[in-house]
C-alpha cells in the first residue's frame, strides 16, 4: 500500500559552496591533507575539492525525478528562525554564524567552511526537520525525508565542525520537545562518523535517547566510545556503537534487532528521528553497506514507528560523499518510506562489524 512521504528540499541549499582549500591557512591545508590521506589512502589530493558540495543533493533530487516514487510529496522547508536555532545553539554562536553572511572563510581546520550563501542554506537545512515535524504533527503524513546541506550532526551548541554549521536534527528534536509537546524523542545516527555535536547537545537529557553507530576512533571525529553514555540525568541515554572499518549491512541490521529495537521498546518514544548519512555505503570507500541495507534498516524503523509512535518518523540527510551512493541510497530509503518492500538484501559472507555489534548488544543486554 502506498504511503505518503513528505520530501523537503530547497535549491537555496545549493548556495552553500565552500572552497576546497583556504589559501590564507596553508597550515590547515596540510592538516587536512594528512587527515584525508589517513582515511582515504587512495584519494588524489592534487584534484581535491571540498567534499561537501552541491551535487551531493542534486544527485539525489535528479534520481527521484528520473525514477519517481508514488506517494512522494515535494515540499519547500521554512528557514529556521533565530528563536528556533537558539533552542539548541548559544545566542553568541548564532550571531557569529549570521555575521558570516556574504563571506567566504574556514571556521575550523577540519575544512568546515562557508561561502557567501552558506548562512541562508544553513537556516533552510535547520528549518527542514521542523517543517516536516509540523506537517506530521498536523496529520498531513507520518513520514518525511529532508534532503539538506550543510549537514548538522557535528555542530555543537557553540561551535561549527565537520562541515556542519547548525545541528539540523538537534534543532528538530528541541522543537519537538519544547514547542510541540513531544515527551520522548529517539534518535538513530547511522552516519559513518560519530555525531559528536548531537551527543554533546543531549548529553544531560533523559528525554532524548541517542543511538549512534559509527566507525571507531581514531576515525573522525575521534569520539563516540562505548563508555560515553551521558551525564547526570542523561546517563544511559547515549548508546554509542563503535564499528570497525568495512562494516556492512549485516552488522547494522544486527544492531537494529539487538539494540535499537529493544531500546526503543523500553524508552517508548513518541517520535523517531534518523540522522541519515549514507557514507557507510561501499562507494564511499570506508564501510561496506549498500542501498539494500539502508532500505532494510528503514523498513525496520518504519515498523518501530508504527508500533510505538503512531508512525512518526523524520529522516534528515547527514554525510555521504559519493554522488551515486547518495542517489541510490536516498532513493531506496524513500521508496521504503512510501510503503514499498525493500527487496533482496546483500549480505557479506564475513562482515567485520558483526562481532562489534554482538559485543555492544551483550553490553547493554541488562538494560533493555
Ligand atoms: Zn559522515
pLDDT in tens, 24-61: 776 667 777 776 676 666 667 666 677 889 999 999 99
C-alpha 243 to ligand 1 mean position (Å)? 13
Categorize the per-residue pLDDT at 321 as very low, low, confident or very high, splitting at 50, 70 and 90.
Answer: very high
In the chain, what are the domain boundaries?
5-363
Task: Convert the chain into a string of H (helix), E (strand) and C (coil).
Answer: CCCCEEEECCHHHHHCCCCCCCCCCHHHHHHHHHHHHHHCCCCCHHHCCCCCCCHHHHHHHHHHHHCCCCCEEEECCCCCCHHHHCCCCCHHHHHHHHHCCCCCEECCCCCCEECCCHHHHHHHHHHHHHHHHHHHHCCCCCEEEECCCCCCCCCCCCCCECCECCCHHHHHHHHHHHCCCCCCEEEEECCCCCCHHHHHHCCCCCCEEEEEEEECCCCCCCCCCCCCCCCHHHCCCEEEEEECCCCCHHHHHHHHHHHHHHHHHHHCCCEEEEEECCCCEHHHCCCCECHHHHHHHHHHHHHHHHHHCCCCEEEEECCCCCHHHHHHHHHHHHHHHCCCCCCCCCCCCCCCHHHHHHHHHHHCCCCC
Categorize the per-residue pLDDT at 22 as very low, low, confident or very high, splitting at 50, 70 and 90.
Answer: low
C-alpha 256 to ligand 1 mean position (Å)? 19
Distance of alpha carbon 301 from alpha carbon 169, whole angstroms:
17
pLDDT in tens, 97-113: 999 999 888 888 777 88
pLDDT in tens, 148-207: 999 999 999 999 999 999 999 999 999 999 999 999 999 999 999 999 999 999 999 999
C-alpha 193 to ligand 1 mean position (Å)? 4
Distance of alpha carbon 5 from alpha carbon 314, whole angstroms:
10
Residue-level pLDDT at 368: 76
Residue-level pLDDT at 23: 67
C-alpha 231 to ligand 1 mean position (Å)? 25
Categorize the per-residue pLDDT at 82 as very low, low, confident or very high, splitting at 50, 70 and 90.
Answer: very high
pLDDT in tens, 143-152: 999 999 999 9
pLDDT in tens, 247-268: 999 999 999 999 999 999 999 9
Phi, psi of 254 (to 5 degrees): -60, -40
Active-site pick, 153, 154, 193, 194:
154
Residue-level pLDDT at 2: 92
pTM of the predicted model, to two decimals? 0.95
Q: What's the CATH architecture for 5-363? A: 3-Layer(aba) Sandwich (3.40)
Q: Is 204 assigned a catalytic role? A: no
C-alpha 216 to ligand 1 mean position (Å)? 12
Residue-level pLDDT at 8: 98
Cβ within 8 Å of residue 241, ≥6 positions away: 211, 212, 213, 214, 226, 255, 259, 356, 357, 360
Amino acid at each position: 500500500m502506498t504511503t505518503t512521504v513528505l520530501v523537503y528540499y530547497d535549491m537555496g541549499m545549493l548556495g552553500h559552496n565552500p572552497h576546497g582549500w583556504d589559501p590564507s591557512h596553508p597550515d590547515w591545508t596540510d592538516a587536512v591533507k594528512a587527515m584525508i590521506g589517513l582515511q582515504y589512502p587512495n584519494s588524489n589530493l592534487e584534484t581535491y575539492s571540498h567534499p561537501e558540495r552541491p551535487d551531493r543533493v542534486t544527485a539525489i533530487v535528479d534520481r527521484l525525478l528520473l525514477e519517481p516514487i508514488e506517494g512522494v510529496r515535494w515540499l519547500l522547508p521554512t528557514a529556521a528562525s533565530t528563536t528556533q536555532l537558539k533552542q539548541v545553539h548559544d545566542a553568541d554562536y548564532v550571531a557569529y554564524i549570521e555575521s558570516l553572511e556574504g563571506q567566504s572563510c574556514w571556521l575550523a581546520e577540519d575544512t568546515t567552511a562557508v561561502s557567501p550563501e552558506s548562512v541562508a542554506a544553513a537556516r533552510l537545512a535547520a528549518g527542514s526537520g521542523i517543517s516536516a515535524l509540523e506537517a506530521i504533527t498536523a496529520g498531513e503524513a507520518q513520514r518525511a525525508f529532508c534532503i539538506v546541506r550543510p549537514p548538522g550532526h557535528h555542530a555543537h551548541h557553540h561551535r561549527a565542525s565537520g562541515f556542519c554549521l547548525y545541528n539540523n536534527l538537534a534543532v528538530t528534536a528541541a522543537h519537538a520537545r519544547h514547542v510541540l509537546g513531544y515527551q520522548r524523542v529517539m534518535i538513530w545516527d547511522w552516519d559513518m562518523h560519530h555525531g559528536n555535536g548531537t551527543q554533546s547537545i543531549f548529553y544531560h537529557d533523559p528525554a532524548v535517547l541517542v543511538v549512534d553507530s559509527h566507525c571507531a576512533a581514531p576515525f573522525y571525529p575521534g569520539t563516540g566510545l562505548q563508555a560515553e553514555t551521558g551525564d547526570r540525568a542523561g546517563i544511559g541515554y547515549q548508546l554509542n556503537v563503535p564499528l570497525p572499518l568495512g562494516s556492512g549491512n549485516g552488522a547494522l541490521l544486527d544492531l537494529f534487532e539487538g539494540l535499537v529495537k529493544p531500546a526503543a521498546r523500553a524508552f517508548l518514544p513518541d517520535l523517531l528521528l534518523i540522522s541519515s548519512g549514507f557514507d557507510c555505503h561501499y562507494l564511499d570507500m570506508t564501510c561496506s553497506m549498500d542501498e539494500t541495507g539502508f532500505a532494510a534498516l528503514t523498513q525496520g524503523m518504519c515498523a518501530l514507528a508504527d508500533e510505538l509512535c503512531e508512525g512518526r518518523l523524520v529522516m534528515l540527510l547527514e554525510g555521504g560523499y559519493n554522488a551515486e551512493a547518495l542517489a541510490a541510497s536516498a532513493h531506496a530509503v524513500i521508496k521504503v518510506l512510501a510503503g514499498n518492500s525493500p527487496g533482496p538484501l546483500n549480505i557479506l559472507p564475513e562482515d567485520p562489524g558483526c562481532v562489534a555489534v554482538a559485543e555492544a548488544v551483550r553490553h547493554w543486554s541488562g538494560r533493555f
